[in-house]
Amino acid sequence: MTTTEQRQIRVLIAKPGLDGHDRGAKVVARALRDSGMEVIYTGIRQTPEMIAEAALQEDVDVVGLSILSGAHMELFPRVVEALKARGVSDVVLFAGGIIPEEDVAALRALGFRGIFRPGASTQEIVEFVRASVEPRE
Amino acid sequence: MTVDELAEGVLRGDRRLLARAMTLVENRTPRGRHLLRLLYPHSGRAHTVGVTGSAGSGKSTLTGALTHELRRRGKTVGIIAVDPTSPFTSGAILGDRIRMQDLTGDHDVFMRSVATRGSLGGLSEAVADLMCVLDAAGKDVVIVETVGAGQDEVEVARTAQTTVLVLTPGTGDDIQAMKAGIMEIADILVVNKADLPGADTLLGHLRALLMLNRAEGWQVPVQRAIASREEGVVELADAIEQRRRFLETSGALETARRERARHQLLAAMRSALIRRAVGESEGVSRLEEAVERVASREIDPHTAAEELIEQVRER
C-alpha cells in the first residue's frame, strides 16, 4: 500500500545537442521507471538552458544527460552553468553515452557523480541513482 | 527553508521556490498542507482550464499551441500535465514536455509534470491543490492536461472552470465520449487533427449531439483545430475568454465556485479521515488487518470502516 506521504524520486533524462539518437536515453528512462521512479523525459535536441529550466520547474532530484555526438565537453559545462544560474545546485548529475576515458576526470570535477560509458548496464544506473539521492522531505 | 519563506517565494514569483512548493504539496506532507493554508487565500484569480481527451488526441500539442496564443495575448500561464503511474512499479514516464519544448525559455510559463500516483487522497485533490499553488503564484491561466477519458479525468475536469474536450476523427472518439459521460462535462469541444478524413462527419455528429443537451446557458462550441500547425488556436483562446466572460456575467462563476468548494471540502475531509485512521505505520497494520477480515467475509466493509473511524474518535 502506498502511504499518504511518500517520497518519490524524480529524474530528468535529457539529450543536449544535435544528435538525434535517443534509444539509449529511452532505455535508461524506462529502467528508472521500472524501478519505481518518476522520469521526466524531454526529448532530443535540448539546449543547456532548456534542460536547466526543466530541472528547475520539475524540481527533480537527479539529472541524467545522454550524449553520443562527442560534444559533451562543450555542452555539459554549459548545462552545469545554466543550473547554477537558476540556483539549482543540489541535483545529482550523471552522464551516459560515448564519453572517452580521458574525459571522465574532467566531468567528475564538473560535478558529474555518475558517468556511464558504453557497456554499462541499466541496473548499474538504477543503483547509482537510488544510492545517490538523499532522503529529502 | 521555512514554510513561510516558501509561501513568500511563491507569492513573489520565485520559480525555484514555486517548484519546491509544488513538490511539498504533491507529496501530501504536513508541510505541504501548511503551505496550502498560507497560499489558499491568495488564489482564486486564475482562470482554470482542463484539457482532456483520449491518448494520442493531441492534447499536449494543443496545450502548447494554446499557451503560445495566450502568451501573445499577454497572459501568464501555469500548466499541470498529468501522465499515468505504472500500477506495477509506481514509476512513471512523464513525457508531456516533449511537445512543449519551446515554452521552456519563457519565464512567464511554468509547467509541471505530474504522475497519477496511487495516493489515498485521489488525483483530483492533488491536482486542485497544485492548481491553487500556480494560481497563488499569479498565473492568469492555469491549464491542467489529463490523460485518457475515464472517471479520474472527469473528476479532474471538474476542478477546472472550463473544460476543453479534444477529439480526433476516425478513432471512434464520438462513441467513447458518449460512453464515458464526458460530453456532459465539456464546455468546449475541439476536433483536433481536422485535416484527417472523417473530421467533418465527427463535427456534424458532435453538433447534432449537442443540440440534444443544455438548452440554455452556455452554448458549447464545436471547433476544429490542427494543433501541430497552430491552426484553430486563436478560436480556442477566444472561446476560453468567452467562457470566462459568460461565467462572470451569468453568475455561474459563483455557483461553480461554491460547488467546487463543496467538492474539495468533502474530498479533503475524506482524506483527513483516512489519514487519521490508517495514515501512520500502526494505522497501516490496522488497515491491513481489517482488509483481511473483510476479504475472508468475517466482517463487511461498512462495519469495518465504522470500526476504524471509531478508533480515531477514541484516540
Does residue B93 sit in the same domain as residue B7?
Answer: no
For residue B233, pLDDT beyond 70: yes
- On whether both B289 and B190 belong to a single domain, the answer is no
Residue B155 has a pLDDT of: 74
B171 and B211 together in one domain: yes
* Residue A106's CATH number: 3.40.50.280
Q: Which residue has the higher pLDDT, B20 or B177?
A: B20
Q: Is the pLDDT of residue A5 over 50?
A: no
Q: How many folded domains does chain B comprise?
A: 3
Rounded Cα gap, residues B280 and B274, in angstroms: 10
When pLDDT is averaged across residues B34-46 and rounded to a whole number, the result is: 95
Q: Say yes or no: B95 and B229 in one domain.
A: yes
Average pLDDT over residues A100-113: 93
Q: How many residues does chain B have?
A: 315
B22, B8 Cβ separation under 8 angstroms: no
Query: Of residues B240 and B250, which shows the higher confidence score?
Result: B240
Q: Which pLDDT belongs to residue B275? A: 82
Residue B272 lies in a domain: no
Contacts of B120 (CB under 8 A, 6+ apart): A2, A3, A4, B271, B274, B275
Query: Mean pLDDT of all residues in chain A?
Result: 88
Cβ-based contacts of A43 with chain B (< 8 Å): 95, 97-98, 101
pLDDT digit string, tens, across residues A13-23: 999 987 777 88
pLDDT, one tens digit per residue, over B64-103 is 999 999 999 999 999 999 888 887 888 889 988 888 888 8
Cβ of A35 and B23 within 8 Å?
A: no
Q: Do A38 and B22 touch (CB under 8 A)?
A: no
Contacts of residue B23, Cβ cutoff 8 Å, sequence gap at least 6: A59
Q: What is the pLDDT of residue B150?
A: 63
Q: Is the model more confident about B118 or about B217?
A: B217
- Tell me whether residue B222 is exposed, middle or buried, using C-beta atoms within 10 angstroms of its C-beta: 0 to 12, 13 to 18, 19 or more: buried
Cβ–Cβ < 8 Å for B32, B25:
yes
pLDDT band at A45 (very low <50, low <70, confident <90, very high): confident
Give, in degrees to the nearest 5, the angle at Cα B235 between B229 and B241. 130
Q: Which of the two residues, A4 and B65, has the higher pLDDT score?
A: B65
Within this chain, do residues B35 and B105 fall inside the same structural domain, yes or no?
Answer: no
Residue B153: strand, helix, or coil: helix
Q: How far apart are CA A62 and CA A93, in angstroms?
A: 6
Query: Could you give the maximum distance between any two Cα atoms of chain B, in Å?
Result: 64
A5: in domain = no
- The span from the CA of B155 to the CA of B158, in Å, is 5
Pairing of strands A92-97, A38-41: unpaired
**Whether B19 and A57 lie within 8 Å, measured CB to CB:** yes
Judgement on whether residues B238 and B120 belong to the same structural domain of the protein = yes
Residue B234 has pLDDT above 50, yes or no: yes
Contact assessment for residue B63 and residue B79, using Cβ atoms and an 8 Å cutoff: yes
Q: What CATH number does the domain containing B208 carry?
A: 3.40.50.300
As given in the structure block, the three cell numbers for residue A55 are: 530541472
Total domains in chain A come to 1
Same domain, B54 and B173: yes
* A31–chain B nearest CA distance, Å: 10
Least confident of A119-128, B28-37, B122-131, B213-222: B213-222
Quick one: pLDDT at residue B53?
A: 84
Interval B228-241 mean pLDDT: 96
How far B167 CA sits from the closest chain A CA (Å)?
A: 25
CA atoms within 13 A on the CB side of A44: 11
Q: What's the pLDDT at B35?
A: 96
Residue pair A83/B16 in contact by the 8 Å Cβ criterion: no
Q: How far apart are CA B228 and CA B63, in angstroms?
A: 10
Average pLDDT, chain B: 87
CA distance B30 to chain A (A): 8
Q: Give percent above pLDDT 70 in chain A.
A: 92
The larger pLDDT score, comparing residue B114 to residue B171, is at B114
The domain of B295 spans: 280-314
Cell numbers for B119, please give them: 495516493
Any domain includes B271? no
What is the per-residue pLDDT for A4? 38
DSSP one-letter string for A29-41: HHHHHHTT-EEEE
Check pLDDT > 70 for residue B181: no
| A6, A36, A57 ranked by CB distance to B111: nearest | A57
Together in a domain, B112 and B129:
yes
Residues in chain B closer than 8 A to A88 (CB atoms) = 16
B106–chain A Cβ distance below 8 A for any pair: no
Question: Range of A107's domain?
Answer: 10-129
User: Is B203 domain-assigned?
Assistant: yes
pLDDT for residue B178? 61
Give residue B121's pLDDT.
47
pLDDT band, very low/low/confident/very high, at B120 (cuts 50, 70, 90): very low
Position A68 confidence tier, pLDDT thresholds 50, 70, 90? confident
Let me know whether B129 and B202 are in one domain: yes
- B80 lies in the same domain as B172: yes
Same domain, B149 and B294: no
Residue B50 lies in a domain: yes
Q: What is the pLDDT of residue B276?
A: 84
